Amino acid sequence: MARSAVRPGLEVLLSDSLQLVQGRRVGLVANPASVTRDLAHAADLLQARPGVRLVTLFGPEHGLRGEAQDMEAVPGGTDPGTGLPIHSLYGSSAATLAPETEMLDGLDLLLVDLPDVGARYYTFAATLSYVMERAATRRLPVIVLDRPNPLGGTVVEGPLVEPGFESFVGRFPIPVRHGLTMGELALLFNQEFGLGADVQIVRMEGWTRNMTWEDSGLPWVPPSPNMPTPETAHVYPGGCLVEGTNLSEGRGTTRPFEFIGAPWLDAPALAATLNEQHLPGLLFRPHWFRPVAQKWAGRNCAGVQAHITDRREVRSFAAYVALLAAARRQAPEAFAWRQDAYEFESRHPAIDLLAGSSRLRHDLESERPVRDMEEEWRRAAEGFEPARQHVLLYDTAR
């Protein structure tokens, strides 16, 4: 598919819909990737625009400008770019994930521009839902500036969150790879899960559902420190599952979520096992690496690098479940599930929070075939599809 000139919601607002915010006291929820195609940030542009009263900024996990690592508490403060106050929406407890009531004092509306990567457990979606929920209690309008789903908007993959397993990486029962934009997620949160917010979506122009990021013509800016490239986003729906284990998911390396390993794995054998399964859109190469931070920091790890051969065919959730199964079979005495608190939640292991239930963990422990699991996920996705269809804002190109 040829590259297209997609205009994200921020550009549409600034050129065609500025009346939505002019003369109103605006709070902006944004991240480092909240930019135009010429890489100007939303906060800087809005502050400079005549008639717009940008008064407060809100930063999600990793911070407004993206300095903080995963699960690192982000303090409030003053934005060095604009001089405006920043309220953190990711502090040291679960209570900090929603804006406090006084943070909304003096605002006429909330503007949300949170570039996302199309996976349920990338936490900006949950932040959007908390912002909407708190705004509803104040009858404060929310305007969402829509952006492309880097994975496209046609493929749905992975299990849904089951009751009792709700968390910051899965607040509502949606699949891991949901095939929705942030604007569509906002509508879903309102219509299906009753948040009751006054929400308006500033739609993109030029985006169709079968576009991946590479088709959009937009520059990639890492929305978080460990999302350096579009390729990272393509493998992330599966790669993030590794966080629920004692394997390194490649944090502390140059290719997070693509490098997977541990000191006790047999790299050539793992790559061969995975490649024998002909996992769509992926090839695995034996790889050795030494993380400089997080799991196995300073230790030599053996494992694989996931190489994308066809981004449209990649089904990374199933592929990385196959990877976990192979790693566990190869070294059952060394493989372990992560047990420490994860995203402020300690009632369940991290893998259960990511998968949305304990089912995936039990399936892997019983060595259930991945193809059987995939059939179960497919049925769950079919049950989700009617709700999804009700909120789609964009067509699929013919």
50, 132 Cβ separation under 8 angstroms: no
CATH top-level class of 230-378: alpha beta
Q: How many CB atoms lie within 10 A of CB 175?
A: 26
Residue range(s) of every CATH 3.40.50.12170 domain in the chain: 9-223
HEC per residue, the chain = CCCCCCECHHHHHHHHCHHHCECCEEEEEECCCCECCCCCEHHHHHHHCCCEEEEEEEECCCCCCCCCCCCCCCCCEECCCCCCEEEECCCCCHHHHCCCHHHHCCCCEEEEECCCCCECCCCHHHHHHHHHHHHHHCCCCEEEECCCCCCCCCCCECCCCCCCCCECCECCCCCCECCCCHHHHHHHHHHHHCCCCCEEEECCECCCCCCCHHHCCCCCCCCCCCCCCHHHHHHHHHHHHHHHECCECCCCCCCCCCEEEECCCCHHHHHHHHHCCCCCCEEEEEEEECCCCCCCCCCCEEEEEEEECCCCCCCHHHHHHHHHHHHHHHCCCCCCECCCCECCECCCCHHHHHHCCCHHHHHHHCCCCHHHHHHHHHHHHHHHHHHHHCCCCCCCCC
Q: pLDDT at position 398, please?
A: 63
The fold for domain 9-223 equals Rossmann fold (3.40.50)
Q: Kindly report, as residue ranges, where domains of CATH 3.90.1150.140 are found in the chain.
A: 230-378
- What are phi and psi for residue 264, nearest 5 degrees? -105, 10
pTM score, whole prediction: 0.96
Based on its alpha-carbon atoms, the radius of gyration of the chain, rounded to whole angstroms, reads: 21
Mean pLDDT by 10 residues, the chain (398 residues): 78 96 97 97 96 96 91 92 96 95 95 98 97 97 98 97 97 97 98 96 97 96 97 98 98 98 98 98 98 97 98 98 98 97 95 98 97 95 95 90
Give the pLDDT confidence score for residue 4 in this predicted structure. 60
Predicted local distance difference test score (pLDDT) of residue 2: 47
Best CA proximity match to 12, nearest among 175, 187, 200, 189: 200
